[in-house]
Amino acid sequence: MNTATRRAYGAGVKFYDALSGEPVYRIGRVTGVRMLRLRAGDTVLDLGCGTGLNFALLTAAVGPTGRLIGLDRSGAMLDIARRRIERRGWSNVSLVHADATDFSWTDLEVPQVDAVISTYAMSVFNDPHAAWANVRAVLRPGGRACIVDMQVPTGAATVLAPVARLTCAAGGSDIDAHPWTLLEADAHDVRRRSLRGGHIQVVAGTIG
């Protein structure tokens, strides 16, 4: 994450939810959580959770007996996520202030998780490979993962490529990172959805 991006997820966070383009990007969250095939009682990690825009979908999917752990390296983003948790009264959601490229199960305070989701975050990480290695290390054998991220639009939507590039650059995201390929290389039942003219890629699968 470069200095400008660090700033974007520091001082500017109070505007994150308003500027995150939910009319365009929410469909990726909804599709990703559905494709993760969570079960009641599952423990799920939201990697680079930001302000917790996925939390309502994830807590509904794992139910009151499940557990959600949100991890992010921005304390300012986590402050907003914490307020969301308090407001909604979720007692089964915890937050971890850590770097996705440098964490382990001791940070999560659970030996393993059943599922991991990362939405619009891995393309922001400075080292998605290191983050994915950590995901593999905390995911139980047979656990599920889902990566939702962005690329340059395809087909007829290619005309929107400059807008997509600008939007991603403003959020510190590398539009050419294609982090879902890490999951595709390791999962044995890869499922894919392409949304918004190919701009949003949702890839899920079972690992190990």
C-alpha–C-alpha distance, residues 189 and 36, integer Å: 12
Closest approach of ligand SAM to the CB of residue 156, in Å: 26
Closest approach of ligand SAM to the CB of residue 100, in Å: 3
Closest approach of ligand SAM to the CB of residue 55, in Å: 10
Q: Tell me how long the chain is.
A: 208
Q: Among the residues of the chain, which ranges form H helices?
A: 3-8, 16-19, 22-35, 55-62, 75-88, 105-108, 128-138, 161-170, 180-186
**Which of 119, 134, 167, 206 is in the footprint of ligand SAM by CB under 6 A?**
119
Residue 31 interacting with ligand SAM (CB under 6 A):
no
Burial readout 139-168 (b: 16 or more C-beta within 10 A, e: otherwise): beeebbbbbbbbbbbeeeeeebbeebbebb
Q: Which stretch binds ligand SAM (CB under 6 A): 72-80, 135-143, 157-165, 192-200?
A: 72-80
Q: Which stretch binds ligand SAM (CB under 6 A): 99-107, 134-142, 159-167, 179-187?
A: 99-107
DSSP 8-state assignment for residue 98:
-
Residue with smaller CB distance to ligand SAM, 99 or 174: 99
Residue 49 interacting with ligand SAM (CB under 6 A):
yes
Residue with smaller CB distance to ligand SAM, 42 or 99: 99
Q: How many residues bind ligand SAM (CB under 6 A)?
A: 21
DSSP string, 168-197: HHHTT--TT--THHHHHHHBSS-EEEEETT
Residue 37 burial (CB count, 10 A): 14
**Which of 50, 66, 128, 153 is in the footprint of ligand SAM by CB under 6 A?**
50
**Which of 38, 44, 58, 99 is in the footprint of ligand SAM by CB under 6 A?**
99
Residue with smaller CB distance to ligand SAM, 59 or 119: 119
Give the neighbor-by-neighbor strand order of the sheet with 113-119.
93-97, 67-72, 43-47, 113-119, 139-150, 200-207, 191-195
Residue 38 interacting with ligand SAM (CB under 6 A):
no
> Which positions lie near ligand SAM, rule CB under 6 A?
1, 9, 20, 48-50, 53, 72-74, 77, 99-101, 119-121, 124-126, 171
